[in-house]
Structure 1
Amino acid sequence: MDLIYKNEKVLFVIMLTLSCVVWLGVILGTLGGALIWALVIFVMYCFAQSALISYIKGTAVQITEKQFPDLYRRIDACCDKLEHIERPQAYLMQMGGALNAFATRFLGRDFLVLYSDVVDALHEIPDALNFYIGHEIGHIKRKHLLWSTVLIPASLMPLIGAAYSRAREYTCDRHGLAACDRPESAQAGIAALAAGGKRGATMCIQAYSEQSLHTDGFWMSFHELVADYPWLVKRMGAVRALAQGQEVKQPRRHPLAVLLAFFTPRIAGAGAAGPIVMVAIIAMSAAVLVPAYQQYKVRAAEAAAFRSGDAAVVVEKFDSATKEIPATSEQPTEAR
């Protein structure tokens, strides 16, 4: 099984090419001044990312040989299976019922955070936890975190940015599957993400993956095209097919949804809320630009009247405007 999703490499090349063109244009267009702003932004990023890392270190429980040795050995085994030599610094964190995990990076150091609820939910199927661990190691191994800053310009573009993000998730699901001892464990991991620990254990996997057949409509297609993640039912179908040594054939998206998504500004991380944010931006822009445009038309008409020699029209407009100004009781004093 190829651990890299078929579209990720192509999308990466496109993203890298577009981003390099944008970065080069910005640097040349500002005569190098953009480099100063890049330094300022990097410093701001360091403060923001250091806040997250500090919170993790100051709140979560670090997974070591002495602290949760079973999880430590499991992470170590997943790294060996995926041939990732450098072990990330791992932590266990309580997140109020969320069933997930995430990887992050700061100053050259990789961090893996497991949510305690997903660990507890998969207590009866510990091999399914390998899917979550392997998925996040996939992000680290593929250097998704390292390249994210370079690819910022292209990631903000319609269609392409979200497509690359979804391709990365499919790639990491493959890593998660490869990290499991049994293919069924990966499906159990996705089932827990969909229905929770108890219900996910008794969920019909086939019926759930068949829900992907209903994702070809306009709205389902559009909201996936502008989202960072594929629909979970599609991820389940892909993992099931890979477990059988096959490639899944996903439903085709609605062509009108593709057209609309092409004109929808990319808002990374907003997902399905992206269009709502877009509408809000358009509304606020219209509130500012429409009155300004109307004033521009009036001034353009006045300038045209002066140029054509029809000054009387302008004078008449000026007189009518001054008549509307209310008179005040105060009279200007004469200079002495």
Structure 2
Amino acid sequence: MNPMNPRLIHSKETSYFIISLLFSIMVYFGLIVSLIGIFYLLIGLGITFFLHGLMIGHIRSNGVKLTEYQFPAVYRKVRELCERMDIRQVPDVFVLQSDGMLNAFASRFFGRNFIVLYSELFEMADNEEDELAYVIAHELAHIKRNHMAKSLLLLPAQWMPFLGKAYSRACEYTCDRMAAAYTGNAPAAISALTILAIGRTMYAKVNVAEYVAESRKETGFFVWFSYALSTHPPLPKRIEQMELMQAQPQLFGYASPAFERESFAS
């Protein structure tokens, strides 16, 4: 199995991880040297663990779990992507009713990985199989990069609005790149991100170039501040990155827009 292409990792992910790690270590050290600090640290970790456990419990008790007998085609695609991405433990994938929201996320609890696909997004399984594969690959990339475990380690930095959010956005760019590379389908990546912007019904009618161009014109303090406090980059920026990867694959270590895994430079 070939190693992962290192150029898929967004440069700012590594930078912000180091900064966040140093900040978190200083906070942990400051809390540990104080008896009161240790108490607050344990309380904070306990509350975080408890709330996360409640969320996972809700997912497990209400979600529809993909198996070889439940949506077998999508389940096989998950296993195929895991094999391609060298993820040995196939995560549990649940579909959850979401009141029309378009979203998906990866999580981890007690050493067990989960992927949750909101039902509105999962409906892509009907006609947009490649787009759904991209979304699944994006969440698998979070697992591959151990982003959930790292987030727990970097909890103090996550509480810092600008630092934690900047690291999260860099991780999202990395996962976008990895998903496009391992599915080998940049057009499907662009379509999937457009679906997240406007939904399955109208996405095919969107002028993507116009959408991206108009987004560049939206500037000002509140636009910037919204970006600085967001865990995800704006969708037009993510689409731009996929377009760049498709147009200039050599920048990411690939010889063609097909993103053959064997072609990246060591």
TM-score of the superposition, structure 1-length normalised? 0.68
* Residues 52-131 of structure 1 mapped to structure 2, 5 A cutoff: 52-121=55-124, 123-131=126-134
Deviations 1:30-61 (A, max 9, x none): 14x54444444444333322221221111111
Aligned to 2:231: 228
* Residue 20, structure 1, aligned to residue 22, structure 2: no
* Residue 141, structure 1, aligned to residue 144, structure 2: yes
For 1:84, what is the secondary structure of its paired residue?
coil
* Residues 291-330 of structure 1 mapped to structure 2, 5 A cutoff: none
Contact 2:20 2:163 in 1 (8 A): yes
1:154 maps to a residue whose letter is: A
1:107 deviates by 0.8
For 1:52, what is the secondary structure of its paired residue?
helix
* Residues 116-195 of structure 1 mapped to structure 2, 5 A cutoff: 116-121=119-124, 123-195=126-198
Deviations 1:63-118 (A, max 9, x none): 11111101101111221232222211111112121122111111111111112211
For 2:67, what is the secondary structure of its paired residue?
coil
Deviations 1:138-192 (A, max 9, x none): 1111111112122122223353222111111111111221232421111110011
For 2:87, what is the secondary structure of its paired residue?
coil
For 1:85, what is the secondary structure of its paired residue?
coil
For 1:175, what is the secondary structure of its paired residue?
helix
For 2:233, what is the secondary structure of its paired residue?
coil
2:119 maps to a residue whose letter is: S
Contact 2:31 2:41 in 1 (8 A): no
1:216 deviates by 4.1
Contact 2:180 2:186 in 1 (8 A): yes
1:23 maps to a residue whose letter is: Y
1:135 maps to a residue whose letter is: H
TM-score of the superposition, structure 2-length normalised? 0.85
Distance 1:43 1:222 in 2: 31
Distance 2:174 2:141 in 1: 7
CA RMSD of aligned residues (A): 2.0
Aligned to 2:256: none
For 2:152, what is the secondary structure of its paired residue?
coil
Contact 1:127 1:181 in 2 (8 A): no
Q: How many residues align?
A: 246
Distance 2:57 2:206 in 1: 38
Aligned to 1:200: 203
In the alignment, structure 2 segments of 5+ residues that lack a partner are 253-266
**Aligned-pair identity (%):** 34
